[in-house]
Amino acid sequence: MRGTVALLVVAACVGCGAVVAMAQAEDATATQPEAQKPDAPSGAARPAPAATIDAGTYAVRLRDLEQRINELKEQIFRSKARLSLLAETVLEGVVGGGQAVIVHENRMSDSYKLVRIVYALDGAPIFTKADEEGSLDEQKEFEVYNGSIVPGEHTLTVNLEYRGHGYGVFAYLKGYRFKVRSMYTFAVPEGRVSTVHVVGYEKGGPATPLEERPAVRYIERVERQARPEASGEGDR
Question: Does the pLDDT of residue 89 top 80, yes or no?
Answer: no
Give pLDDT, residue 72.
Answer: 86
Are 172 and 166 within 8 A, CB to CB?
A: yes
Q: How many other CB atoms are there within 10 angstroms of residue 171's CB atom?
A: 11
Confirm if 211 and 170 have CB atoms less than 8 A apart.
Answer: no
Note the pLDDT tens digit of each residue in 111-161: 889 999 999 999 999 999 998 877 888 899 999 999 999 999 999 999 999
Main-chain phi, psi angles of 5, to 5 degrees: -65, -40
CA 134, distance to chain mean position in Å, is 19
pTM over 0.75: no
The percent of the chain in helix, strand and coil, each rounded to the nearest 5, is 35, 35, 30
The DSSP bridge pattern shows strands 98-106 and 112-121 to be unpaired
Count of other CB atoms within 10 angstroms of residue 124: 16
Phi, psi for residue 143 in degrees, rounded to 5: -85, 130
Compute how many other C-beta atoms are within 10 angstroms of the C-beta atom of residue 56: 8
151 and 190 Cβ atoms separated by less than 8 Å = yes
Beta bridge partners of 217: 199
Grouping H, G, I as helix, E, B as strand and the rest as coil, residue 108 is coil
Do 225 and 99 form a contact (C-beta atoms < 8 A)?
yes
Q: Return the DSSP state at 25.
A: H
Structure confidence by residue, pLDDT tens digits, 25-40: 444 444 444 444 445 4
Percent of the chain scored above 70 by pLDDT? 64
pLDDT digits (tens, 9 = 90+) for 39-60: 545 545 555 554 566 777 877 7
Q: Is 137 helix (H, G, I), strand (E, B) or coil?
A: helix
